[in-house]
Structure 1
Amino acid sequence: MALAVTSSSSTAISGSSFSRSGASSESKALQICSIRLSDRTHLSQRRYSMKPLSVESHSRNESWVSRASTLIAPEVEEKGGEVEDFEQLAKKLEDASPLEIMDKALEKFGDEIAIAFSGAEDVALIEYARLTGKPFRVFSLDTGRLNPETYRLFDAVEKQYGIRIEYMFPDAVEVQALVRNKGLFSFYEDGHQECCRVRKVRPLRRALKGLKAWITGQRKDQSPGTRSEIPIVQVDPVFEGLDGGVGSLVKWNPLANVEGSDVWNFLRTMDVPVNALHAQGYVSIGCEPCTRPVLPGQHEREGRWWWEDAKAKECGLHKGNIKEEDGAADSKPAAVQEIFESNNVVALSRGGVENLMKLENRKEAWLVVLYAPWCPFCQAMEASYIELAEKLAGKGVKVAKFRADGEQKEFAKQELQLGSFPTILLFPKSAPRAIKYPSEHRDVDSLMTFVNLLR
């Protein structure tokens, strides 16, 4: 799928990631190695780099087993041996204007950063980018179910700013399977998460894999229950960037501290295009079937997925910024949404895992993820793990999950090599011991290669 460029440079997309014409192959940043999570799921802003390892460039003929058997030791990132501390940078920019924050973001990342444009107030981000005088890129997720007014806004924005928005589309086969199996409006009955995962989260994941940073229009006042602690800039706790691995993507939120009313005053003052739906009572605008106007006095998010509980009004694009309930992370609320749910993923009990460990000659190989549903890194790999399970169905490999938090954590640490979530184990057909997957690359191709060469 080819995507156009914004501003003055020419950009295209090939396969599943952005490719930048004219970008030197020598400008490869060191990859990010594993960031250790504490059991409280606190994401450290400290980053590690690792020797370059591009999943996309691996051929299946290479000796993947030798790579899988050796963990790569952390190295010091270049630039005088120092690592950017984005937590400190966020504190420094706490009182900065959106224009100053935007300028800093574009200055740091150049054509390896892009604005995520949803067709609503995000036009303010584009206006701020224009005011910096620097080149900028814009991408948008076209779910296939947006309002006509939103598409007209896209066209107006492109003409106003002389840019081409880089559109990301959902996978046609996945959409077809969802609609054929569950109908066009299944989300009204069983929740919006599955549809959003197919139409929004997975396309976003593909887009971000071609970037080192992205810019969002998140604000603290958009959803006080879930977004009240959004930082100005952060290491993205969920998605991976161009270099791959945890910590390889930086997320900028220039409007985090701005009130919604101030955003609208800015838009009116600058006389920029806005979505015509705003004049009809729509404030937060998403897909047509899941968005409706709000009444005076209602919060803007009440117009999104109005048939669901107010605490669930997130689509999954900003999981890492969702405010958690008070209390210890080890005792996460039981109400947290379950993950890795698929007919092709077997849920194992402790007894099932123990039986699997005892078998020396198995009829089939087993791939098992040790997970906690509240863990953002487990959530981030959900799409690829489910897709992998679909590909391995009927091919002699069982794909399973084992919830290893809470009272099962000590058992998992002692018997199942659990270090941090997620931990992925392969139980081969003939070998008695499980083989731990060592890489931070949890995409389908990497996991498939691991299974095919070791099962």
Structure 2
Amino acid sequence: MASATAFPSSISSYSIVSRESSVGSVKRQDASVVAAAAAAAPVRPRGRLMLARPCRALEPTNRADSAVRAAAAVEASGAAVGEEDTVDYEKLDKELEIASPLEIIDRALEMFGNEIAIAFSGAEDVALIEYAKLTGRPFRVFSLDTGRLNPETYRFFDTVEKHYGINIEYMFPDAGEVHALVRSKGLFSFYEDGHQECCRVRKVRPLRRMLKGLRAWITGQRKDQSPGTRANIPVVQVDPVFEGVDGLGSLIKWNPVANVDGKDMWNFLRTMDVPVNTLHSQGYVSIGCEPCTRPVLPGQHEREGRWWWEDAKAKECGLHKGNLKEEGGISAANGNGVVTSNGVGGIPDIFETNTIFNLSRPGIENLLKLEKREEPWLVVLYAPWCPFCQAMEASYVELAEKLSGSGIKVGKFQADGDQKPFAKEELQLKSFPTILFFPKTMSKPIKYPSEKRDVESLLAFVNALR
């Protein structure tokens, strides 16, 4: 689908964009002049968190300069690109902590150009689009169409496209996955077994497909949206969950309104006369899919309008798992996506608590060999990067706490990487996570057959076999 504004297809065809009052306006320059400059510019290497110095051919005060001057600046910038800068995003986050959303978005668009996009949910995060317009830079917008949105939200998408003169890039769930989910569990299974499975199919996986084509994305996360889980949101970070075009650990996540209060956000929208979703006037604050969203009463927190039949700790769809803080503890990933525990590839380890034993390869092999064990074991085979493993972390930790002192040991074994062939051959691994119960008097472990990974379901499995 077309991007939110027209980006030059190559530097040989268009110059650096000249700013005008309308978003995305592009002035054609002398193609031959700019092509000569582009030929001297080296290609950016892929697969590393290295960003070439941004092209500064036209500074804000002289963006209307001639094509010759622009081309000369591009050539000079190209010479400097040879000496790449490693971007320290933890440091950059601290630098931008007190910056305005406009400054943050301008920096993001300057650094990534056509390789960054704004994630738009159809709620008050329309402010991100307004800020992007105010920068005068070209920008892209995408949205996840789950197929279950309110009619008002679909109409709002159309209003936003017309107001800003953009084309939103819609991402849809895989039809086969939706068909299988509905055929097996019906249209409203989330009321019975939680929303995570439906969100994975309709939101998380389409988002993952979108992000694999980008080097950065912009979200509307705010700390005050859910103080219990979003209190540690950084302004900018290496995304600890999703991967970009250059693979794992390459995607940069920008949260320009992380430190903005909801009231200030709405003051901005009213001041700038920005169109808003009509659901807001009906009492909706947090807006998602129609079956999972309802209005809130005065004094209620906005997240109380989402998945109201579930425990407050579960009121996240999985799109921002890397920014969540478990109740009573701190998120395992720091603002720069740097490993703070025994993780690999920039991804923090999970299931870290003193009630869960971290099994080595010899340890799990020993469990397999024993025909009689002193006590039964429950072990999860996991990969830290797996969103399904991350989604069950809270329930598995809670289960371990419940089983503490019961005579059942709870463990984990990281089964990705070099351990995956062994786990597939010896431990029945087909997908992550795989949960095994090692009985006290049987050598062969019993595989947990269900995808229900809540505490009650897992406890029922254990109690049936202990």
In which range does the TM-score fall when normalised by the shorter chain? 0.5 to 0.7
Are 2:46 and 1:30 aligned? yes
Aligned to 1:253: 255
Contact kept in structure 2, 1:226 and 1:322, CA below 8 Å: yes
8 Å contact kept, 1:145–1:289: yes
| Deviation, structure 1 residue 258 | 0.2
Distance 1:370 1:85 in 2: 33
Task: Select which of 154, 160, 165 maps to 1:162.
Answer: 165
Structure 2 residues without counterparts, runs of 5 or longer: 10-34, 52-80, 333-349, 357-362, 371-378, 392-408, 433-466
After superposition, the C-alpha distances for 1:115-142 in whole angstroms (9 at most, x for unaligned) are: 0000001110000000000000000000
Deviation, structure 1 residue 10: 7.4
Matching of residue 426 in structure 1 with residue 421 in structure 2: yes
Contact 2:211 2:217 in 1 (8 A): yes
Counterpart residue number, 2:110: 107
Contact conserved, 1:29 with 1:243, CA < 8 A, in 2?
Answer: no
The Cα offsets for residues 38-71 of structure 1, whole Å up to 9 and x where unpaired, read as: xxxxxxxxx589xxxxxxxxxxxxxxxxxxxxxx
Mapped to 2, the partners of 1:302 and 1:423 lie a distance apart of: 43
Partner of 1:66 in structure 2? Answer: none
Alignment match, 1:450: none
Where do 5+ consecutive residues of structure 1 fail to align?
Answer: 12-21, 33-46, 50-77, 337-348, 357-367, 384-405, 413-417, 435-441, 443-455
Equivalent pair of 2:380/2:411 in contact (CA under 8 Å): no
Structure 2 CA distance for partners of 1:335 and 1:290, relative to 1, 3 Å: farther
One-letter amino acid of the counterpart of residue 426, structure 1:
P
CA distance in structure 2 between the aligned counterparts of 1:210 and 1:100, rounded to whole angstroms: 25
SS in 1 for 2:143: strand
CA deviation vs aligned residue, 1:6-28 (integer Å, no higher than 9, x gap): 112279xxxxxxxxxx9999855
1:426 match: secondary structure: helix
| Aligned-partner SS, 1:114 | strand
Inter-CA distance 353–142: structure 2 relative to 1 (3 Å threshold): farther
One-letter amino acid of the counterpart of residue 290, structure 1: C
Q: Letter of the aligned partner of 2:3 in structure 1? A: V
- Structure 1 residues 182 and 10: CA distance shift in structure 2, 3 A: farther
**Higher mean displacement: 325-334 or 278-287:** 325-334
Equivalence for 2:324: 322
Instruction: Give the residue type in structure 2 aligned to 1:305.
Output: W
For residues 161 and 82 of structure 2, the distance between their equivalents in structure 1, rounded to whole angstroms, comes to 37
Which residue number in structure 2 is paired with residue 263 of structure 1? 265
Query: Which of 3, 6, 12 is residue 4 of structure 2 equivalent to?
Result: 6
* Paired residue type of 1:165: I
Determine whether 1:198 maps to 2:201.
yes
**For each residue in 1:257-303, what CA deviation from the matched residue of structure 2 results, as whole angstroms up to 9, or x when unmatched?**
00000100111111111100000000000000000000000000000
2:387 to 379, 388, 402: 379
Look up the equivalent residue of 1:379 and give its one-letter code. Answer: P
Report deviation, 1:324.
2.7
* Matched residue, 1:55: none
Match of 2:270, SS state, is: helix
2:69 corresponding residue in structure 1: none
TM-score by length of 1: 0.64
Q: Is the 8 A contact 1:219 1:227 kept in 2?
A: yes
The structure with more radius of gyration: 2
Alignment of 1:276-291 (within 5 A): 276-291=278-293
Q: 2:297, 2:213 → 1: CA distance?
A: 40
| Contact 1:378–1:421, Cα closer than 8 Å, also in 2 | no
* Pairwise CA distance, 1:350: 4.5
1: distance between equivalents of 2:241 and 2:252? 10
Give me the whole-angstrom Cα distance separating, in 2, the residues matched to 1:102 and 1:162: 19
Displacement of 1:421 in angstroms is: 6.7
Shift in CA distance, 145/175, structure 1 to aligned 2, threshold 3 Å: same
Tell me what 2:176 maps to: 173
Distance 2:91 2:104 in 1: 14
Matches within 5 A, 1:388-407: none
Q: Which residue of 2 aligns with 1:303?
A: 305
Residue 346 of structure 2 is matched in structure 1 by none
Q: Offset at 1:30?
A: 2.0
Amino acid across the alignment from 2:7: S
Q: Deviations over 1:390-427 (max 9, x none)?
A: xxxxxxxxxxxxxxxx9756xx6xxxxx6x97765114
Which residue, 94, 97, 106 being the options, matches 1:94? 97
Structure 2 residue aligned with 1:36: none
**Quick one: structure 1 residues 84 and 154, their matched pair in 2 at CA, closer, same or farther if it must change by over 3 Å?**
same
Q: Measured at CA, do residues 164 and 292 of structure 1 come closer, stay the same or move farther in structure 2, by a change above 3 Å?
A: same
Gap change, CA 1:200 and 1:331, over 3 Å in 2: closer
**1:270 and 1:104 mapped to 2: Cα distance?**
21
Q: Which amino acid aligns with 1:178?
A: L
Give the distance between the partners of 1:27 and 1:131, measured in 2 at CA. 30
2:239–2:322 Cα contact (<8 Å) kept: yes
Q: Give the counterpart of 2:125 among 122, 125, 136.
A: 122
Change (3 A) 1:161 1:309: same
Query: Are 1:147 and 1:287, in contact at CA under 8 Å, matched by a contact in 2?
Result: yes
Note the alpha carbon deviations across 1:56-91, whole angstroms, 9 max, x for none. Answer: xxxxxxxxxxxxxxxxxxxxxx86354110000000
Q: Deviations over 1:363-389 (max 9, x none)?
A: xxxxx99426xx4x1327889xxxxxx
Q: Does 1:354 align with 2:368?
A: yes
Partner secondary structure for residue 5 of structure 1 = coil
Count of aligned pairs between the two proteins: 323
Contact 2:219 2:253 in 1 (8 A): yes
**CA RMSD of the aligned region, Å?**
3.7
TM-score by length of 2: 0.62
**Structure-2 change in CA distance of 1:134 and 1:333 (3 Å):** same
